[in-house]
Amino acid sequence: MKKHRRTVSRIRWALFVGLVAAALVTSVAVEARAARHAQPATDPAVAALRDQALQSDAAWKLLASLTTEVGPRSAGSAGDKRAVEWALAAMKGLGLDDVRSEPVVVPHWVRGENSGEILAPFPQKVLLTALGGSVGTSEEGITAEVVGFPTLEALQAAPDDQVRGRIVYLDRRMERTKDERGYGEGVGIRRDGPATGGKKGALAVLIRSVATGNHRFPHTGTTFYGEAPKVPAAALAVPDADVLAAQLASGKPVRFHLKLTSRVLADEPSANVIGEVRGATHSDEIVLLGAHLDSWDLGTGAIDDGAGCAIVMAAAKLIAAQPRRPARTIRIVLYANEEAGLSGARAYAKEHADELPKHVLALEADLGAGKVWGLRALAAPAGRTFLQEVARDLAPLGIDWLEPAAFGGADLSPLEPAHVPLADLAQDASEYFDYHHTADDTLDKVDPKSLAQVVAAYAVTAWRVADSTVAFGPAPPPPPRR
Amino acid sequence: MKKHRRTVSRIRWALFVGLVAAALVTSVAVEARAARHAQPATDPAVAALRDQALQSDAAWKLLASLTTEVGPRSAGSAGDKRAVEWALAAMKGLGLDDVRSEPVVVPHWVRGENSGEILAPFPQKVLLTALGGSVGTSEEGITAEVVGFPTLEALQAAPDDQVRGRIVYLDRRMERTKDERGYGEGVGIRRDGPATGGKKGALAVLIRSVATGNHRFPHTGTTFYGEAPKVPAAALAVPDADVLAAQLASGKPVRFHLKLTSRVLADEPSANVIGEVRGATHSDEIVLLGAHLDSWDLGTGAIDDGAGCAIVMAAAKLIAAQPRRPARTIRIVLYANEEAGLSGARAYAKEHADELPKHVLALEADLGAGKVWGLRALAAPAGRTFLQEVARDLAPLGIDWLEPAAFGGADLSPLEPAHVPLADLAQDASEYFDYHHTADDTLDKVDPKSLAQVVAAYAVTAWRVADSTVAFGPAPPPPPRR
């Protein structure tokens, strides 16, 4: 009995202590949050725009429509042309101004049938896909011994006679990072591996997919031959790369059969699709929000870059629906053919060369639908100072000011010679490279709430910059590109 | 200053309170754990076996070898024959007794090429795969309007003229559960959907994959036509099912093109592979640990059922290496062709009919490599009581006694007429149906620590039952099969 009473009193004491501790923790957290928010108040109109964006399903509906009604839309394909029609109709439906397409000629590479098989020491088919732009094999395919290298550097350092007449395999694993660092460091095997192997006399080059995650999808993406002999190039899905690596590790000779019917067809017409929210007082000054309309052929391009298209379109729709227009024009540009060589981006820079000095700031959404966690800029000091203020308006979305400078989406690179100022709304890319450039890039991989947060970040940033008369440029020279 | 001092004293108070709370929580937890473990002590030899199994990588090495050196091994294929050779060599390498194969004739269905495409209202290719046993389409394929139903029951209730001349689509989603319940409730559309559609005059039947998760793999699995007209049958990957469902929801007529070159070839020889740990004193009494050696053709069969094979083989290896043998014989049976009709299981029951009364207890590992969380039995009262004791030996592995009765793996079903007692080591199947019957069923989906825990559960259970002379049977009638 005594023991029972002691237990009860101990439980009471534990409850009391727990409650006191919880109350203290709560009060400390409330104080900390108040301190963090001690900053110049956000304009109520901007706060309202931000909250509307968070509540809006506009981007989700656009993305569901694009992926359901168009689906894959690689440069030059029938889907590419349908995507242009879709974007024109969708922008008009959103009430944007001066909706139009600007013609772009795009290359038309087709994947064809891709197959690979380990013949020895342990026969097994593997899942692989051609790298974008790869030449095909002959009709019979290529059968040869595989020589493996852990990195591009190891292949570069290898004597030619270790490579000549063989199939090269590059086994480097990509690191998972919140930003694009892991990809930037890992993509070399895809970009430069085939050219490096071709120069040394390889018959073909295989790579471990430049990817995070371990689902059984090969990840495609463009390879660049430059002046090197063009050899067939393909990426293995991660589990298949594991099997090939394990068989190579057995020390027995590994023979492989590769067949790709990939080829380049005649160029095709495509288009950049453009719509605007015309500025109230300084309509000749342009705040450019970009994304790319093309996708790879394997998936429905939900994260790359349907999400980007939906984000910038939804941001423009929300701004267009405000009680008044901002001073400057917000221009939405959905670029043709980002994936296979930036055709649309180059065409835009050329077509709008005279107007580039009036491009106040440019941003591109091309990293999926992960939440924005930072804002960074490549701009003159007055522009940077202004964007630091904007970052404070974005703080309730969990967004901080970031250093070093912005490097812009790939489609913005042709604007650099004109010193167009850039900003990046840095998105969480932790899971992006699980799906990037695969058949698994589909609508279900997008979180509607996260997508709405990105729209809010773009809408607030675009509104603030367009509603100011601050000079953001000329931009300093850009940092080295990822 | 006063405020600062107050803050410091508040922080000190918070620290003190926190430490006291932590100490109390810890002491309560320690007491609770001690109470939970108040039970008859486990035999030190059994505890040692359990700990050796947890530390062993034997199962992982077997599974890596099987998936790297054999890979896919569907009934009747070249991989199936290689798997038999692999299993014979591996069992001999583990030091098992009387390693042999027993011939089994198996069907030989081949998947061929499978493709599907929505033609209208919004053209898009979809990823699908034939259901096991499906007939093919004609060379030109089937082109028809799609009629969708949310469930098998809705199709059963539909008037024939709603179905006749159309392609049926069944959209039911499977629920994620820790046990097989979600699968048991969801598999009807795959098992019976094609027969139901065929009877009503459908040209073909498509289903949403019976699957959890949302990766873009179609999930295959056997369908049963029975006496119904045989119509081509295929499963769409979950994201593709979403697209088809969205297009059907648009209200516009949906036209679809399906082509399958699946067909049945001549039967092939295969085998059950058997090895034993001979009992010391009662070697004619059998404790059967089963798994199935065949897999589907799409993946490397790491979780279904390479893991099961590796688990029972590793358990036998660990027991064979103990200082003494248990009383009864432990028999490892790797069954041929579970997936396409239990050929090996039926052959075993027939071949060993005379010996079945001496089968003390049978278990099958066929639910991947998720941790075991429960033990349940279908046995006479003395057997149940004994297995409840065994559950206490398994408690340190996080395993509880479960009700209701065991239902056994599918390969054990032909033992039921002989009233062979059964036990289930119930595994966590929460993620199993993300990968089940897909190309994504590969080695990297298996957690080595979890695999070792399952081996420990099998080793302890087999040892305890084999080292006893308790009569477990005759088993009562089994519960309804899942």
What does the alpha-carbon distance between residue A67 and residue B159 come to, in Å, rounded to a whole number? 33
Residue with tokens 């609508």: A443
Who among B17, B238, B439 is closest to A216 (CB)? B439
- Quote the tokens at residue B235: 């499963």
Residue with tokens 């559609």: B197
What does the alpha-carbon distance between residue A184 and residue A197 come to, in Å, rounded to a whole number? 20
pLDDT reported for residue A13: 47
Q: Other C-beta atoms within 10 Å of A388: how many? A: 12
Q: Answer for the pair A430, A176: CB distance below 8 angstroms, yes or no.
A: yes
Q: Which residues of B touch A (CB under 8 A)?
A: 10, 13-14, 17-18, 20-21, 24-25, 28, 64, 67-72, 78, 122-125, 127, 214-217, 238-239, 242-243, 246-247, 299-300, 438-440, 442-445
Q: Answer for the pair B228, B199: CB distance below 8 angstroms, yes or no.
A: yes
Who among A18, A124, A440 is closest to B71 (CB)? A124
Could you report the per-residue pLDDT of A298-350, keeping only the tens digit for each?
Answer: 999 999 999 999 999 999 999 999 999 999 999 999 999 999 999 999 999 99
Show the beta-strand stretches assigned E in B138-294. 142-149, 167-170, 204-208, 233-236, 255-260, 263-277, 282-292
Could you report the per-residue pLDDT of A411-457, keeping only the tens digit for each?
Answer: 999 999 999 999 999 999 999 999 999 999 999 999 999 999 999 99
- Quote the tokens at residue A388: 């630091």
Q: Other C-beta atoms within 10 Å of A20: how many? A: 16
Chain region(s) in chain B for CATH 3.40.630.10: 44-109+267-466
What does the alpha-carbon distance between residue A279 and residue A467 come to, in Å, rounded to a whole number? 8
- At position A134, the amino acid (one-letter code) is S
Q: Answer for the pair B272, B346: CB distance below 8 angstroms, yes or no.
A: no
Give me the residues of chain B with pLDDT under 70, please: 1-40, 480-482
Taking CB atoms and an 8 Å limit, are B444 and A242 in contact across chains?
yes
Which residues does chain B have within 8 Å of residue A442's beta carbon, measured at their own beta carbons? 214, 216, 239, 242
What does the alpha-carbon distance between residue B208 and residue B240 come to, in Å, rounded to a whole number? 8
Which residues lie closer than 8 Å to B162 by C-beta, 6 or more apart? Answer: B147
What does the alpha-carbon distance between residue B72 and residue B300 come to, in Å, rounded to a whole number? 4
Helix runs in B158-237, H state only: 160-163, 181-186, 188-199
pLDDT reported for residue B477: 86
Domain B44-109+267-466 top-level CATH class = alpha beta
H or E element, residue A101? strand A97-110
Which residues of A are tagged catalytic?
338
- Which residue, among B221, B222, B218, B201, has the nearest Cα to B209 in the 3D structure? B218
Could you report the per-residue pLDDT of A367-418, keeping only the tens digit for each?
Answer: 999 999 999 999 999 999 999 999 999 999 999 999 989 999 999 999 999 9
H or E element, residue B42? none
The vertex-B50 CA angle with B45 and B52, nearest 5°, equals: 90
Which residues does chain B have within 8 Å of residue A10's beta carbon, measured at their own beta carbons? 24
The CATH topology of domain B112-261 is Glucose Oxidase; domain 1 (3.50.30)
What does the alpha-carbon distance between residue A460 and residue A456 come to, in Å, rounded to a whole number? 6
- Which residue, among A45, A114, A432, A78, has the nearest Cα to A261 in the 3D structure? A114
What is the residue-averaged pLDDT of chain A? 93
- Which residue, among B392, B369, B394, has the nearest Cα to B449 in the 3D structure? B369
Could you report the per-residue pLDDT of A30-78, keeping only the tens digit for each?
Answer: 444 444 445 568 999 999 999 999 999 999 999 999 999 999 999 999 9
pLDDT reported for residue B35: 44
Taking CB atoms and an 8 Å limit, are A243 and B71 in contact across chains?
yes
Question: Residue B324, SS3?
Answer: coil
Which residues does chain B have within 8 Å of residue A438's beta carbon, measured at their own beta carbons? 216
pLDDT reported for residue A30: 44
A1 has pLDDT over 50: no
Chain region(s) in chain A for CATH 3.50.30.30: 112-261
Who among A17, A20, A239 is closest to B442 (CB)? A239
What does the alpha-carbon distance between residue A150 and residue A140 come to, in Å, rounded to a whole number? 29
Which residues lie closer than 8 Å to B111 by C-beta, 6 or more apart? Answer: B129, B130, B220, B262, B297, B298
Q: Is A281 exposed, middle or buried (0-12, 13-18, 19+ CB in 10 A)?
A: exposed
pLDDT reported for residue B32: 45
What does the alpha-carbon distance between residue B327 and residue B321 come to, in Å, rounded to a whole number? 15
Q: How far is B61 from chain A (nearest CA, A)?
A: 12
Taking CB atoms and an 8 Å limit, are A242 and B443 in contact across chains?
yes
Residue A473, φ and ψ in degrees, nearest 5? -110, -175
What does the alpha-carbon distance between residue B120 and residue B117 come to, in Å, rounded to a whole number? 9
- Which residue, among B463, B435, B451, has the nearest Cα to B214 in the 3D structure? B435
Work out how many CB contacts closer than 8 A connect A with B.
101
Who among A17, A70, A442 is closest to B239 (CB)? A442
| DSSP code at position A179 | S
Chain region(s) in chain A for CATH 3.40.630.10: 44-108+267-466
Taking CB atoms and an 8 Å limit, are A69 and B125 in contact across chains?
no
Which residues does chain B have within 8 Å of residue A13's beta carbon, measured at their own beta carbons? 24
Which residues lie closer than 8 Å to A346 by C-beta, 6 or more apart? Answer: A414
- According to DSSP, the residues that pair with A271 across neighbouring strands are A103
- Which residue, among A183, A202, A201, has the nearest Cα to A191 in the 3D structure? A183
pLDDT tier at A287 (50, 70, 90 boundaries)? very high
pLDDT tier at A15 (50, 70, 90 boundaries)? very low
Q: Which residues of A touch B (CB under 8 A)?
A: 10, 13-14, 17-18, 20-21, 24-25, 28, 64, 67-72, 78, 122-125, 127, 214-217, 238-239, 242-243, 246-247, 299-300, 438-440, 442-445
Burial of B371-402, coded b for 16+ CB within 10 Å and e otherwise, reads bbbbbbbbbbeebbebbeebbbbbeebebebb
Mark whether B338 is an active-site residue. Answer: yes
From the centroid of its chain, how far is CA B407? Answer: 13
Q: Answer for the pair B185, B175: CB distance below 8 angstroms, yes or no.
A: yes
Q: Cα dist. A304→A317, B215, B383 in Å?
A: 21, 16, 59
pLDDT reported for residue B41: 83
The vertex-B368 CA angle with B362 and B373, nearest 5°, equals: 70
Q: Which CATH architecture has domain A44-108+267-466?
A: 3-Layer(aba) Sandwich (3.40)
pLDDT reported for residue B31: 45
Q: Answer for the pair A67, A305: CB distance below 8 angstroms, yes or no.
A: no
Residue with tokens 């004193």: B281
pLDDT reported for residue B30: 44
Q: Is B132 exposed, middle or buried (0-12, 13-18, 19+ CB in 10 A)?
A: buried
Q: How far is B262 from chain A (nearest CA, A)?
A: 19
Who among A21, A28, A71 is closest to B124 (CB)? A71
Q: Answer for the pair A317, A383: CB distance below 8 angstroms, yes or no.
A: no
Mean pLDDT across the stretch A130-138? 98
What does the alpha-carbon distance between residue A148 and residue A154 come to, in Å, rounded to a whole number? 10
Query: In which order are the strands placed within the sheet that holds B142-149?
Result: B124-126, B114-120, B255-260, B142-149, B167-170, B204-208, B233-236, B128-130
pLDDT reported for residue B140: 97
- Which residue, among B84, B82, B64, B477, has the nearest Cα to B307 in the 3D structure? B64
Which residues lie closer than 8 Å to A23 by C-beta, 6 or more apart? Answer: none
- Which residue, among B104, B41, B118, B50, has the nearest Cα to B318 in the 3D structure? B50
What does the alpha-carbon distance between residue B277 and residue A150 come to, in Å, rounded to a whole number? 43
Could you report the per-residue pLDDT of B215-253, keeping only the tens digit for each?
Answer: 999 999 999 999 999 999 999 999 999 999 999 999 999
CA Rg value for chain A = 26
Taking CB atoms and an 8 Å limit, are A300 and B239 in contact across chains?
yes
DSSP string of A104-170? EEEEEEE---EEEEEEESS-EEE-EEEPBTPPP--TT-EEEEEEEESSHHHHHHS-HHHHTTSEEEE
